[in-house]
Amino acid sequence: MIDTNVDTAFLSNTSVEKIKLCPESSVADSHRINHGTACAIVLDRCACDFELLNIQVFKGNGRKVFTEVGLLVKALECCLDNNVDIISLSAVSSLLSDSRYLYSVTHELAKRSIIISALDNNLFVTVPTSYPHVLGVRCDFAGLLSPGEIAYCAGDPYYADVFANCNFDYLQEYQIKPSNSYAVPVVAAYVNVLLNKGHNKKSPKSMIQNLRPYNAAEVQNAPNKYVSQGRDVPAVLLTAYSNEMCCAMMDDLFANHEVQSATLSMEAGYYDVRIREQTNPENIQGDLLFMERHYKADVIFILCNQSLAGDFAKRIEVDVEIMYHGNGQSSIRYECMQETVPLHMVPDRLHDILAT
């Protein structure tokens, strides 16, 4: 468990070892327990025959926690060094740029361990939860399941296909309400049972595909205080760009200007958490609205071929249009103005345009 310090006084059945990577300690008392202790209590009640390695990386007292991505990477490397079977990860990142630190280590870890990770409570696409080698988890806010029960929803738009009900009476005693965080140890307990029965760690997705299906329609209709609201995010139409070229632009925007960006792409075959594939041009308006609400981005690119560019420009509000001409030059159109600049200068010029 990568979290805050776990207070073992609240546990009855769990053997705990600790690795402290964070200099701050979260203090618990009889009236208020911290985030990691609450997660450990769920494991303690739901699982058996396991040992808990508590890697402390999160700062802060009480239930609100934060950390640096570098400490999270060190914690994941500790899991590699200690041959951990299951990683229970409730505090995650919705900063898309953190993917460059987390992708490689989680990909290596997933070859020998099962990573179970929470979706951001504000329904932003989350790392490492969104990775295909991670079991992404959401809370059953709709109350379709019984406490401790889990279900599967293939193709969840946030890449969190596992739903778990964590509305336990023993958490309510500490005024702890259900959240995506506390759903993770419910799933970790389920996976632990399967591993103890000899299930292969190399096929985590097969562990969940036989679960009862979760009613996705009910999720959309259920009241949920965590549903994020629409935001005013600039949209940039890219024509004749590849996913690789777009990724390079997003990298430059963050490296030079700390601008977080994401892409809605008509081009398949390139994995990057910042890129969401768009398969039906008729859905462009809805897909763009989803990204505006659920990707923590300062700018959103819409990547398409030239045959669709004119139609997209009519159907969605575009702030800037950029076309690559194949000769190292790109044209930029904005506010009835047009200019041509070298390809390598496009990110800086785009930043200047959007900043004015």
Range of the structural domain that residue 8 is part of = 2-221
Is the same domain home to 123 and 20? yes
The predicted model gives 327-336 an average pLDDT of 94
pLDDT in tens, 125-180: 999 999 999 999 999 999 999 999 999 998 888 999 999 999 999 999 999 999 99
**Which H or E element spans position 207?**
helix 204-208
Angle at CA of residue 120, ends 15 and 147, nearest 5°: 55
Tally of structural domains, the chain: 2
Is the same domain home to 327 and 207? no
Paired tokens of 197: 């029965």
Is the same domain home to 316 and 187? no
Residue 13 lies in a domain: yes
The predicted model gives 22-35 an average pLDDT of 63
pTM, 2 dp: 0.89
Q: In this predicted structure, what is the pLDDT of residue 178?
A: 95
CATH number at residue 283: 3.40.50
In whole angstroms, give the CA distance from residue 270 to residue 265: 10
In whole angstroms, give the CA distance from residue 4 to residue 280: 43
Q: Which residue has the higher pLDDT, 199 or 205?
A: 199
Is the same domain home to 52 and 124? yes
Of 91-100, 215-224, 254-263, 331-340, give the lowest mean pLDDT range: 215-224
Residue 226 lies in a domain: no
Paired tokens of 35: 């985030």
| Token pair 């009855």 in the structure block, residue | 12
Residue 118 lies in a domain: yes
**106 neighbors 76 (Cβ within 8 angstroms):** yes
In whole angstroms, give the CA distance from residue 136 to residue 163: 9
Whether residue 54 has pLDDT greater than 60: yes
Q: In this predicted structure, what is the pLDDT of residue 223?
A: 43
Residue 230 lies in a domain: no
